[in-house]
Amino acid sequence: MKRNCFSLSYSLLGVLFLLSCLPSLADKKRSADAPTSPSIQDSQLYFSDRVFAAPGRLFMQRIKTIPADAPIEATDLPAGLTWNADLRRIEGSVSTPGTYRYNINLILTDRVDSARVPYPVTLTVDERYLNSRPVMGWISWNVVEGDISDRVIRSTADRMNELGLKDAGYHYLIIDDLWHAPSRNADGTPREDPNKFPNGMKTAVDYVHSKGLKFGIYSDAADKTCAGAFGSYGFEKTDANQYALWGVDLLKYDYCHAPEDRTEAALRYRTMGEALQSSGRDIQFYLCEWGVRKPWEWGSESGGSMWRCTYDTRDCWKGKPGGIGVLQSIEQMKDLWPYGGVNRYNDADMMCVGIHGKGKSSSALCATGPGMTQDEYRTQFALWCMWSSPLLLSFDLNQPLSEDDRALITNKELIAIDQDELAQPADFVAREGDLYYFEKPLSNGDVAIAVTNVGEKTQNFRLDLSRFPLTKGFRAFSVRDCQQLTDVGAVKGGFDTSVRSHATLVYRLSENIEIGNIVRRNLKKTLAPEEPKKKTTVPPTSAAPKRVRK
């Protein structure tokens, strides 16, 4: 949750007043002329005030402040956790399950005295988080839309196994909107379309489970869904219980046709979250309100473990207003890293990797394309992994899959970055010209870094590894190229490289103690052969965009 502290007086009266109004502090941007020294008058803190961990597993919580050097500390930490002042994070592990509370303190200083303003955090340590990772799977909307059926589900489940997707970690098969009958059953329970599911929904779910996969379903927090089917508002318990009877493992819960205010949104999501928790089945709750009301600040309190942070992604590098291309995804996702972690996944939406302009709604609202170059698809996949976003494929699995696409979506080293047990999203380090720099801490002490070129020309540059805060203290590095699956080698300081237009470099850095001050000269560049800039496109379909909001 974002916490702000403004117009701070250093007097005792000022501190007491601030403490009295902490719960109602409003969002505020730091003024341009505010001091940036440790004696601050205006600060913003960004962090999650509700976090999760598995017993005995590594835990990390990072805190962002504006200004960056605002003095902070963590106190009252449970046994096993420590405050890393240099990296401004809490780290360690807690062995005993339970609920713990500690404080992140903003330190107010002047020449005479100092005071601490505490912001409480609740940590839940539970064995159910032992296998908590960003969801990986396939979702139907982009290429299937209203044609979802028992037949489509079965063929997709078969192909997820045949293509090796299940073995790569894609375990969820999620159906989106328009699985519904025209109306509910007489007793109010949800009813599947009998023409699409002649043997009932449970039969389809059982088939998915028989293939070693999990099943996800869709609904909406209003009277009707985005596409006009019946929604779950007022029927939350009824629907949750029916989903449990069907054997559903995940609910994607949309927010079309619902009130705009944040308080009502949080209430509607919490009502469904509580219904799922009391259903008798462990059903993962996926909040899909498009980031408008900042669900990363309140989603976990509503029972969610993942939440959409943008409007619907489109199969393009750049979207039109209302459409989210890769460029818009970067801008909307890059600063959300303080809100991610175990059981807290910032979702950048389903990926368009593999669609190549042949989708339905994914082709709408595109300023470029529809369709992207392979470098652009690689960028999308790489950044989703860096952000610890759920990895949801959305192309037609029943069509031929190119070896290039298969290699991309089953890249074990990128997937390992996404699925790392710390679940920490990449921190946006800086933008220099057309280059965006990201870094991500990994559970074994390694650091993943990414450099994305949003410009139209290849960029030749020296990659200075010391510029990344997480590498502080590393004397030398072993560098692995996670896109090309090759070793760069042993490096001290940095190396010369290049990144093509709209491409992304991803390196995994390990501390190399053995080489000390040895520098490997004339490092071989780890780049694929230059590919043509021409996009793979097909004429857009006549299908209307899915999301109609009033």
- Among residues 528, 288, 520, the alpha carbon closest in space to that of 392 is found at 288
Among residues 175, 174, 194, 196, which one has the least CA distance to residue 183?
194
**Cα–Cα distances in angstroms (integers) from residue 545 to residues 222, 309, 385, 504, 520, in the given order:** 19, 18, 27, 29, 52
Total Cβ atoms within 10 A of residue 267: 13
Q: What angle do CA 181, 186, 187 make, to 5 degrees?
A: 110
Residue 307 token pair: 């939440």
Q: How high is the pLDDT of residue 113?
A: 64
Q: What is the pLDDT of residues 216-265, one digit of tens each?
A: 999 999 999 999 999 999 999 999 999 999 999 999 999 999 999 999 99
Instruction: Say whether 172 sits in a helix, a strand or coil.
Output: strand
Bridge-based pairing state of the strands 459-464 and 250-254: unpaired
Closest CA to 536 of 332, 334, 372, 298: 372
Distance CA 55, CA 93 (A): 7
Do the first three CATH levels of 2-129 and 427-511 match, i.e. the same topology? yes
The answer to whether 312 is a known catalytic residue is: yes
To 5 degrees, how large is the angle CA 95–CA 96–CA 102?
A: 90
Whole-number Å distance between alpha carbons of 17 and 329: 39
What pLDDT is stored for residue 109 in this prediction? 78
Q: How much helix, strand and coil, in percent to the nearest 5, is found in the chain?
A: 25, 25, 50
DSSP code for 78: P
Q: For residue 234, how many C-alpha atoms fall within 13 Å in the half-sphere facing its CB?
A: 8
Token pair of 346, please?
């910032």
Residue 422 DSSP one-character state = T
- CATH number listed for the domain at residues 136-418: 3.20.20.70
Q: Strands across the sheet with 59-62, in order?
A: 59-62, 89-92, 81-84
pTM of the model: 0.88
Q: Are 345 and 135 in contact (CB under 8 A)?
A: yes
At 248, list the tokens.
Answer: 């559903």
Question: Three-state SS for 88?
Answer: coil
Q: Note the maximum CA span of the chain.
A: 77
Q: Is 193 a catalytic residue?
A: no
CATH fold group of domain 2-129: Immunoglobulin-like (2.60.40)
The closest alpha carbon to 40, from 48, 30, 49, belongs to 30
| Residue-range domain boundaries for the chain | 2-129, 136-418, 427-511
DSSP 424-460: PPPEEEEEETTEEEEEEE-TTS-EEEEEEE-SSS-EE
Residue 474 DSSP symbol: -
pLDDT 10s digit of each residue in the chain, 550 long?
Answer: 333 333 333 333 333 333 333 333 333 332 223 333 334 446 899 999 999 999 999 999 999 999 999 999 999 999 999 999 999 999 999 999 999 999 999 998 764 567 899 999 999 999 999 999 999 999 999 999 999 999 999 999 999 999 999 999 999 999 999 999 999 999 999 999 999 999 999 999 999 999 999 999 999 999 999 999 999 999 999 999 999 999 999 999 999 999 999 999 999 999 999 999 999 999 999 999 999 999 999 999 999 999 999 999 999 999 999 999 999 999 999 999 999 999 999 999 999 999 999 999 999 999 999 999 999 999 999 999 999 999 999 999 999 999 999 999 999 999 999 999 999 999 999 999 999 999 999 999 999 999 999 999 999 999 999 999 999 888 899 999 999 999 999 999 999 999 999 999 999 999 987 754 444 333 333 333 344 444 443 333 333 334 433 3
With tokens 């996944």, the residue in question is 345
Q: Which of 312, 315, 375, 396 is catalytic?
A: 312
Q: For residues 357 and 369, is the Cβ–Cβ distance under 8 A?
A: yes
Token representation of residue 99: 């609920």
Amino acid at 273: G
pLDDT of residue 31: 27
Q: Out of 249, 254, 315, 347, pick the active-site residue.
A: 254
Measured CA to CA, the distance from residue 91 to residue 541 in angstroms comes to 50
**Residue 550 in tokens:** 């009033």
User: At the topology level of CATH, where does 427-511 sit?
Assistant: Immunoglobulin-like (2.60.40)
Bond prior to 198 in cis (omega within 30° of 0): no
253 - beta bridge partners?
219, 287
So what's the pLDDT on residue 474? 85
3-class secondary structure, 115 = strand
The encoded tokens of residue 26 equal: 């409003």
Residues with Cβ within 8 Å of residue 430, at least 6 apart in sequence: 436, 437, 467
* CA–CA dist 492, 521 (Å, integer): 10
Strands 50-53 and 486-491: unpaired
d(CA 535, CA 360): 18
Q: Give the CA-trace dihedral at 392, 395, 396, 401, to 10 degrees.
A: -100
